[in-house]
Amino acid sequence: MTHRICHFLVFFTICLFSACDKGVQVEAERPKTTFESIQGTILSQNCSVSGCHNSASRSGGLDLESSASYSNLVGIEPTNTFARTAKFMRVRPFKPDSSFLFLKIDGNPGPDFGNRMPSNSTSSLPSNYREFIRQWIQAGAPREGEVADARLIRDPIVSNDTFTPPNPPQQGLQLQVRPFAIDPLSEREIFVYNKSTNADSLYVNRIEVKMRPGSHHFILYSYNATGLREGEIRDLTTTNGEIFRVGRQLFAGSQTPVFDYQLPSNVVLRMNPYKGFDYNSHYVNTGTAVKTGEVYVNLHTVPRNDSTKVAVPIFDNYVLLFLPRAQKTTVQYTWVRPWARNVFMLSSHTHKRGEAFKIYGVGGVNHDKLLYENYDWDHPPLKTFSPPLRFEAGEGYRIEVTYNNNTDRDLRFGITSEDEMCIVVGYYHN
């Protein structure tokens, strides 16, 4: 028997007798399941209390104490008449939007559906708690297993609910990237796919975006996909090809936490019936605590008449970017189109080593004119043109972008904040 094995046996014997002497079992603590976290942190502290949903009060016929809550929630019809008529369940696995519990905690359900939960509070549950429950339902509402992002419920910084969402538009629709966690000293870029429910075309003339602090960018892509689960967070990596999905087109976006853009009075963006959207959110966390990402988008709609023009997004992406280490580099590239168009807005996108971004006209009346310039990569201006810039067929623009690569490695086009990009964004109409 070796010296190391002897030491192990002595240690094991001491532990065994010590455990027996104290009457305890030597066993690693079992990690909490998602539902146990929901019960302990949310339901037991906010819902199964005196006068509400404990075994004595059973408000609405619902007992949410730990011994009964799961069997009283999952797959069970609510007692509320209107909720039953709407074919809700208290919790419908995989369907948060038809789960009465989620409707009650996620906002004001309306007078027909009773009060918001928790009813003994002056405010709703923190958004991270609501998102934790939504992820659990979206994953099938299992009793066992960890199926939701535990950082949403365990870390105090994530519970900081100081962010105020914008009011929904009076006419139009509100979209949301629900809260998600970004680890300290890291960045996270996600995609979330959802479909709209409009049976007819909608015409958008104003776009509002509001984000929690720390966002690098947000892009709303038009995208009708198959095989993607609605509402599921898909993390972007350098290898999964998310950014290059065929058929996905820019609809709107923002690089600032608060964004409000009004299209010209006779110009709209068209949303086709049941249009799918892919939400792309990128956050950078330079702090030492977990940060929460969250995005709201208001799409204001107007009626369309015979004179209304339909806008087309510009998203010209120079992916052949190469920036040698430890030097400044100016890149140039030209885009022309075989059709005439009227450009009414231009902007730009680089990462932090972009020092100057200029756009010049090519051909026609705009030839060699400086149309756009930006010297602040993190806050690129939107430049509008009234009347629009007219480009005839075969005309276009060239970019001249200067980068300062002060690192010890060559830089190329890439998705992280330590890579670089070179993108022209904007809108035109025919």
Domains by residue range for the chain, with CATH: 34-158 (no CATH), 165-310 (2.60.120.310), 312-429 (2.60.120.230)
pLDDT for the residue 52: 82
pLDDT for the residue 379: 84
pLDDT for the residue 1: 39
CB neighbour burial string for 113-124, b if at least 16 within 10 angstroms, e if fewer = bbebbbeeeeeb
Alpha helices in 43-157, H assignment, sequence order = 44-46, 69-73, 81-85, 100-106, 127-138, 151-154
Determine phi and psi for 397, rounding to 5 degrees: -150, 160
pLDDT for the residue 388: 97
- Say if residues 158 and 294 touch (Cβ distance below 8 Å): no
Mean pLDDT per block of 10 residues along the chain (430 residues) reads 36 32 40 89 85 78 91 94 90 92 79 74 74 92 92 71 86 94 92 89 96 92 87 80 77 91 94 90 89 95 92 94 97 96 96 96 97 92 94 98 97 91 96
Report which residue type is found at 57.
Answer: S
pLDDT for the residue 378: 84
pLDDT for the residue 106: 80
Tell me the pTM: 0.77
